[in-house]
Amino acid sequence: MNEIIKKASLTHELSKHEITELLKDQQYNKELFEAADRIRQKYVGDKIHLRALIEFSNICRQNCFYCGIRAANKNIERYRLSSEEIILLANNAVKSGYKTVVLQSAEDTYYTADMLAGIIQNIKKNDVAITLSIGERSYEEYKILKEAGADRFLLRIETTDKELYKKLHPNMDFENRIRCLRDLKKLGYETGTGCLVGLPGQTIDSLANDILFFKKLDADMIGLGPLIPHKETPLKDIKADGFWLSLKVLAITRLLMPNINMPATTAMETIQPQGRILALQAGANVVMPNVTDELHKNKYEIYPGKKSLNYTKLEEQFKKIGRTIA
């Protein structure tokens, strides 16, 4: 196991077999996490990048089996922020010092590309990077958004296991999701993807494929985390035990993709006390504080207990582990 970790640290390449060996092993987790932490430090440094997350609509046309804001969930109050509200939240984030805002929503086609382009142009009057996380759209729409000034895009593949993908995403098409990711790359977006860990029927083999997919896509950002069951979804009875495995997927991804940006995701800190710190010490270098207004952020319940912590003490927390805010 130490040989595999060493090889990954030096060459940033592993075979699928080596990745599955690492994922299966239970004895060398500490070595794996420490190696990922060293590679993170060597390639992207000790600074933690903050991204201001704005969740602007929870109205969704999709029905992903794991997600609390899926269309079929009737026990949820739906909301949409207006262009003005979104711009105000973004401008406030810029005033607080954020250099990136992430505009995230459910798959809500109420927001046309032209409407979003207007919002983007407005926010771009500030010196700030814009990341979009709004789901699947056409090449033409992604192009309009890019030309309006969007810099980055997050679209998780969720799982590269095609059969599993099909089961969990009714009326969605794996090939279209791949098409989206290719289009985003082609258009010059810094492109992020990622996966869920702990899906029913997901194997170690398929997680290894996920990691190899990230590398093959040459993703610029990877976000991943454990599945947290939501009671209003078909996966309500699934065990939420994916934390350590997702930490390992994170660490291996860092070893193989030393330069990318990886958040300590909210799911990781929701499911495990200290989850955020553990992720930051196993390869992660980004944190995404939620700056959505209090009235709406609790309604963006993709999973229960979603943490929206008080972020005022972040700097102190980071200092304790030898890190600073970028």
Residues that bind ligand 5AD (CB under 6 A): 66-67, 156, 158, 196, 225, 227-228, 230, 267, 302-303
CB of 175 to ligand 5AD, least distance (A): 18
Phi, psi of 169 (to 5 degrees): -130, 75
CA atoms of 34 and 96, how far apart (whole Å): 33
CB of 91 to ligand 5AD, least distance (A): 24
Instruction: Give, in degrees to the nearest 5, the angle at Cα 50 between 49 and 53.
Output: 145
Give the nearer residue to ligand 5AD in terms of CB position, either 39 or 225.
225
Count of beta carbons in the 10 Å neighbourhood of residue 98:
21
**Listed residue (318, 205, 206) closest to 264, CA to CA:** 318
CB of 292 to ligand 5AD, least distance (A): 13
CA atoms of 142 and 182, how far apart (whole Å): 11
Give the nearer residue to ligand 5AD in terms of CB position, either 81 or 196.
196
CB of 49 to ligand 5AD, least distance (A): 18
CB of 72 to ligand 5AD, least distance (A): 14
CA atoms of 234 and 154, how far apart (whole Å): 25
Pairing of strands 52-57, 100-105: parallel
Give the nearer residue to ligand 5AD in terms of CB position, either 18 or 269.
269
Give the nearer residue to ligand 5AD in terms of CB position, either 94 or 134.
134
Give the nearer residue to ligand 5AD in terms of CB position, either 38 or 80.
80
CA atoms of 75 and 263, how far apart (whole Å): 30
CB of 324 to ligand 5AD, least distance (A): 27
CB of 133 to ligand 5AD, least distance (A): 7
Give the nearer residue to ligand 5AD in terms of CB position, either 136 or 141.
136
CB of 12 to ligand 5AD, least distance (A): 25
The DSSP string of 257-302 is -TTSB-B--HHHHHHSTTHHHHHHTTT--EE--B-S-HHHHTT--S
Give the nearer residue to ligand 5AD in terms of CB position, either 14 or 291.
291
CA atoms of 290 and 266, how far apart (whole Å): 9
Give the nearer residue to ligand 5AD in terms of CB position, either 56 or 303.
303
**Listed residue (122, 117, 124) closest to 148, CA to CA:** 117
Count of beta carbons in the 10 Å neighbourhood of residue 28:
17
CB of 240 to ligand 5AD, least distance (A): 8
Alpha helices in 128-283 (DSSP H): 139-148, 162-168, 174-186, 204-217, 243-256, 266-271, 275-280
Give the nearer residue to ligand 5AD in terms of CB position, either 230 or 323.
230
Residue nearest to ligand 5AD (CB): 303
CA atoms of 91 and 291, how far apart (whole Å): 11
